[in-house]
Amino acid sequence: MSASGYVQHYSAKVSDIYFIRPIKMFKSRFKFAQTKVAVGALLLLSCLPFAATAASLEAQLSQYAATAKAANPGFAGFSAARGEALHTRNFASGKPDTPACTSCHGKDPRSAGQTLTGKRIEAVALSVSPSRYADPAKVEKWFKRNCNEVIGRECTAQEKGDWLTFVGSR
């Protein structure tokens, strides 16, 4: 009795190996292939905002360049150094509690800033916030608001281009 019971048990084990294992292996392979596709898609997707930003930033810069050229025939391209000078300069013409861009954005373009009411502002450097400049209308909206606050007037195309070149290089 006990011997036949053992054999039965053993044969069941064999059938396990022959029938169930291959199916399991196939399943796991299939899963692996799915994972590869998913990882690939994710990688591609994560590159998209970056590519979109780069393209829209370029388009916006060339638009500012055209306007700057029209205003000043001697215009010879944007400068990150001029942009940085604008970013750190103290103006007396705007609101007294925000004399400079750095009042809220902070001195280091790669770290986050803070509004006067304590709200976090993502870092301005493109390398840290790759999707920051993807929407040209949003960029314009904030130039308009912030230049008025800090300088007391709207920024020129030259200033906007310089500043975007500065943050784009950081």
Partner 1 sequence: MKFPTRPVSLGLLVLAFSALVFSRAQAGGGHYYPPVVDPVVKEECGSCHLAFPAAMLPAASWKRMMGELENHFGDNAAVDPALARKITAYLVANAGDAAGQRYSAKLLRGVDAASAPQRITALPQWVREHRKVPDWEWRHKDVRSKANCTACHADAELGYYED
Q: Which residues bind partner 1 (CB under 8 A)?
A: 95, 115-119, 145, 148-149
When the beta carbons of 103 and 165 are compared against partner 1, the nearer one is 103
When the beta carbons of 69 and 95 are compared against partner 1, the nearer one is 95
**Side-chain-side CA neighbours of residue 1 (13 Å):** 0
Q: How far is the CB of 75 from partner 1 (least distance, A)?
A: 29
Q: How far is the CB of 166 from partner 1 (least distance, A)?
A: 21
Q: How far is the CB of 117 from partner 1 (least distance, A)?
A: 4
Distance CA 138, CA 126 (A): 15
The DSSP-derived string for 132-154 is: TTS-HHHHHHHHHHHHHHHTSSP
**Residue 147 near residue 139, CB atoms below 8 Å:** no
Please name which of 109, 91, 108, 106 lies closest in space to residue 148, comparing C-alpha atoms: 91
When the beta carbons of 35 and 111 are compared against partner 1, the nearer one is 111
Q: How far is the CB of 20 from partner 1 (least distance, A)?
A: 49
When the beta carbons of 2 and 117 are compared against partner 1, the nearer one is 117
**Residue 98 near residue 149, CB atoms below 8 Å:** yes
